[in-house]
Amino acid sequence: MKNSQAQTTAENALRPWVVVGGGMVGAAMALSLASSGRRVVVLEPQLEAMLAVDSATYSQQPYDLRISAVTADNIALLQALESWSPVAAVRAQPFRQLAVREQGGDWLRFGAEGERELGYMVENKLLQACLLQRLQQHPGVELMAAKVLSVADGTVSLDSQEQPQLAYEWLVVADGAASATRRALGIGTVGASYHERCLLTVVKLQQSAGDETWQTFAGREVHALLPLCDDYACLIVYADSPVIQAWQQSQAMVEAVLKARFRAQLGDFELINFASFPLQHQQALRTFCAQQRALVIGDAAHAIHPLAGQGVNLGLRDVAALHALVADFTDEHQQLSAKLARVMQQRQAANVVMGQGLDIVSRVFRSDNPVLQVARGLGFVGLRQFPTVRSMLAKLAGQS
C-alpha cells in the first residue's frame, strides 16, 4: 500500500499545471504558478504571432488600440512577478485622477494632483509580450502552440500531432470570453448583449493629455479619454451598434464624429487609428470544477461592460488571489482543493457584483426616464458634498 501511494505521489509530481490561454491573464497566472515552484504548460493556438512581438523595438511602433487602465494593486502583482519593469521601460502612462460628469455638468473628480498613481495606461500587446518573455526565460515553463479539443479524466486532448494528449495536475482556463475549453468542461454562461459597440481610437494631440482619465455621460452615448505618452490619447465612444457601424464607413467620418465630441475639451487633434467591438455582459455559471480539477479565470469567467476599465483588472485579481494561495500550499496538501474552491467562490462573487454594478450604471445613465435623470443628478450632488466618499471611491479604483 505504501509503495502504491508513493508511486501515485511521484506520478502526480510529474503532471504539470496546464494554463489554457497565453493572453495577459493566462500568462500572469502561468508565471505565478512557476514562481511557486510548479511545472507549467501554457497552451496558446496563436503563440507564434504573440512571440513575434518584440518589446525591445516596441516603442518604435504606433500605439495599439487595445489599451487597459491597469490599477495600482495589479501593478503590485506584476512587480511581484518581475514583469512590470520591462513594460514601464517601454511605454506606460500613469493616471492620478478620475473624472466623470453628465454632459453640460460640472466634473466630479477622484484623486488629487501630486498623489501617487491610481494606475497606468498600458497596451495589452506590450504587457502580454513582456509576460511571455518572462515565461520563455523560466525553466519550469513550457509554451505550446496548441488548441484544446476536449477535457476528460484529468487529460486534455489537443490538435497537436506531436502531443495529442496531455495529463495535468490542475487546469486553468483563461482563453477568453468565447472560451472553447470552458464549453468542453460543460460550463455554461449567463448574460446578454448590450446592443452597443465601443469605438476605440488613438489620436495625436497638440499637447499632453495630462494624468487624468475621464468620462462624460451624454444621453445614449458615453465619451471617454485615456491619456497616453508623447501627446497621444485613446478616445472612446460607447453608443448603439447601428450608430457606430454607420460612423465607421470612413476615417473622415470617424474623425468628424470625434471632433464634434472632444475638440471643445482637447483642442484640435489628428486621428491615427480606430476600430470597434460589440459589448456584452457574461458570467460563467461555475468557475471551479472539482471533478475535472479545473479553474476558470479572466474573461473566460466574466466579461463585463468596459465602462470603468475593470475587465483586465478583474482577471488579474483572479490571478492575485490564486497567487497568494499556491505560494502557501503544495499540490500534495489535502486542503488545496477546498482552498481553491473557496478562493474561486469569493472571486466569482466579487466579479458578479462588479459586473451587475456596471450593468446598472450603464442602463441608468442611458435611460430617458425622468425619475432616473433626477436620481443621477442627486447622486452627483451628493458625491460632491462628501469628499471622504470620493476618496474611498478613488482608493477602490486603485484597489490600494
The pLDDT of residue 1 is above 80: no
> What's residue 333's pLDDT?
83
Please name each of the domains of the chain with its CATH number. 2-398 (3.50.50.60)
| pTM recorded for the entire structure | 0.90
How much is the pLDDT for 357? 78
Instruction: Please provide the average confidence, as pLDDT, over all residues in the chain.
Output: 88
Render pLDDT for 323-369 as a digit per residue (tens, 0 to 9).
999 999 988 888 999 999 999 999 999 999 888 877 777 666 666 66
User: Across residues 229-258, what is the average pLDDT?
Assistant: 96
Note the pLDDT of residue 150: 97
pLDDT higher than 80, residue 79: yes
**Residue 8: pLDDT above 50?**
no
Question: What is the model's pLDDT at position 103?
Answer: 87
Report whether pLDDT(130) > 80: yes
Give percent of the chain with pLDDT exceeding 70.
85
DSSP string over 209-247: -TTEEEEEEETTEEEEEEE-STTEEEEEEEEEHHHHHHH
Judged against a pLDDT cut of 80, whether residue 223 lies above it is answered with yes
Between 380 and 166, where is the model more confident? 166
**Does the pLDDT at position 392 exceed 60?**
no
